[in-house]
Amino acid sequence: MNNLATIIRQIAQTGQRPTIIVGQVTARDDDARTIDVQPSDGSAPLLGVALQSSTEGTTGIVTYPAIGSTVAVAMLTGYDAGFCILTDEVESIETTIGEMTLTANADAAEVKAGGTKATLTINADGSIAIDAQSITINGGKLGGLVNVGDLRTALRSIRSSMHWMVTTFNSHTHTVNTTGTATEQSGATSSPLTSTSMQEFQYWIDNCEDTKVKH
C-alpha cells in the first residue's frame, strides 16, 4: 500500500474513475485494519478491503464497520483489495496521533498516552476510570486527597486515646504521703501518664494524604 499515492496520482492524470462496490461486511481483522465484503450483486467477495490508506501504519484515524453493516468500497486501478470509504454502522473508531490513542465505541471512550501509560475511560453508564502515575485537579493547590482508610484509622486512634486518658484520669488516685515534714516527703513520685497508641496515631496522620492525587 505504499504506492497508494502513486496510484491516486495516476488516476488523476489519466482521468480514470474508481469503481464503487456496495456490499455487506462478513469479517473484520482489527489488527490488520481490513474487512471482507460480500458485494450486494452476488459477485465474488472482496477480501482484505483496507480501512486505512496503509494497513502497515499505526497512526491516523480508523473506522471499524460492524459485521453485517453495509459499506461502499472503492476499487482503484492497480490495486485489487479496495478501500472502504463509507459505512452505515460503526462499531468503533480509533484515532492515534503519536503516542496518544483515542478509542470510542458504544460502551466507552478511552484515551491512552503510551509514553506515560496513562488511561482515561469514560463509560456509557456515566462512570469515569483513571489509571495514571499521578492526577492533578484544578492545579493541585490544596494538596493530596484524603486516604479514607487511613483517616478512619487515625480518628479511631484519637477516640481510643481520648477514652484511655479519660478513663485513666477518672480512675487515678493521687497518693499523699504521711511521713516526713511538710517540705520533705518520703513517698515515690507518681509515674507520668503514657499511651502506646499515640505513636500509631502519628503514623496514620502522616499517611492520610494521597500525594498522587492532588486537587
Q: Do 46 and 77 share a domain, yes or no? A: yes
Summarised one tens digit per residue, pLDDT across range 8-28 is 666 566 556 778 899 999 999
Query: 5: domain CATH number?
Result: 2.40.50
First to last CA, the chain: 48
CB distance 113 to 100 below 8 Å? yes
Q: Do 2 and 54 share a domain, yes or no? A: yes
Rg (CA), the chain: 36
Q: Do 107 and 155 share a domain, yes or no? A: no
176 domain residue, yes or no? no
Q: Do 1 and 87 share a domain, yes or no? A: yes
Amino acid in position 180? G
Q: Do 128 and 142 share a domain, yes or no? A: no
Domain count, the chain: 3
Q: Do 148 and 126 share a domain, yes or no? A: no
- Cα–Cα distance for residue pair 1/57, rounded to 1 Å: 10
Structural domain harbouring 45: 1-91
Distance of CA 88 to the CA centre of its chain: 30
113 domain residue, yes or no? yes
Q: Among 80-89, 95-104, 123-132, 195-204, which is the least confidently predicted range?
A: 195-204
Summarised one tens digit per residue, pLDDT across range 102-160 is 899 999 888 888 766 788 888 888 888 888 778 787 777 877 777 777 777 777 777 77
Mean pLDDT of 180-202: 55
Q: Do 55 and 69 share a domain, yes or no? A: yes
The C-alpha cell at 123 is: 463509560
- Cα–Cα distance for residue pair 135/100, rounded to 1 Å: 17
Q: Do 42 and 27 share a domain, yes or no? A: yes
Q: Do 148 and 207 share a domain, yes or no? A: yes
174 domain residue, yes or no? no
186 domain residue, yes or no? no
Predicted TM-score (pTM) of the model is: 0.61
Mean pLDDT of 179-188: 56
